[in-house]
Amino acid sequence: MSLHADALATLRAWQAPSAPQEALRQRYVAHLEAEPSGVFKSCVPDHLTASCLVLSEDGSAVLLTHHRKARRWFQFGGHLEPGDETLWAAAARELREESGVPDLAPLPGPVQLSEHAVPFCAPSGDVHHLDVRFLAIAPAGAVPEVSEESLDVRWWPVDAIPDPEDDLIELIKLAPARL
């Protein structure tokens, strides 16, 4: 199965937790049905990305990266690559590359979808990431490392994250339902 086929099957089967999430799910499916290359960065103005929120083992802290280009704190994630076989595999790869925590892997199945503009991704400035978000639980004592894509990687209390955006706050709130 191709990455495109996996993404389409995953999103068709996903049970959205709310009406706004269902509207996004339908938008992502329509995008993939219309765009055979819709999973790759070369598809402009919209393309899928995969990301992963990391919670501490007890759920009290979240591991975030201070993104070098965006200069904001985010969950780990990024563009899908031709070698990725599934959305989950892309999220797992990005998670390992950006967190420096070996053997850390997302739980199966998406948790949230988030469409957001990323003007720094193309000269036109008219680019949207259609992000598919997963969840991972870090083992006790996990020590992150800063990658070249980040300015910093750090644990934050779930109720005191920097740069709080509504969709990241929603993602953190959705996480316990997946545990």
Strand positions, DSSP E, 126-174: 128-137, 150-157
> In percent, how much of the chain has pLDDT > 70?
95
Name the pairing type of β-strands 128-137 and 46-55.
Answer: parallel
Say how far apart CA 147 and CA 130 lie, in whole Å: 23
Q: Supply the pLDDT for residue 154.
A: 94
Residues 6+ apart with CB under 8 A from 77: 49, 50, 51, 52, 91, 94, 95, 98, 131, 133
Residue with token string 């099957």: 9
Residue 90 half-sphere exposure, CB side, CA atoms within 13 Å? Answer: 27
Q: Supply the pLDDT for residue 95.
A: 93
Q: Supply the pLDDT for residue 13.
A: 97
Whether the link from the prior residue into 157 is cis, omega within 30° of 0, is no
Successive 10-residue mean pLDDT values, the chain, 179 residues:
96 96 98 97 94 93 90 92 96 93 89 87 78 94 89 93 82 75
Q: Supply the pLDDT for residue 122.
A: 66
pLDDT tens sequence across 29-47: 999 999 999 999 999 999 9
Residues 6+ apart with CB under 8 A from 78: 49, 50, 51, 94, 98, 149
**Contact call for residues 138 and 63 (beta carbons, < 8 A):** yes
If you ran DSSP here, which 8-state letter would residue 121 be given? G
Round to the nearest angstrom and report the end-to-end CA distance of the chain. Answer: 28
pLDDT tens sequence across 92-121: 999 999 999 888 889 999 999 999 888 776
Q: Supply the pLDDT for residue 148.
A: 87
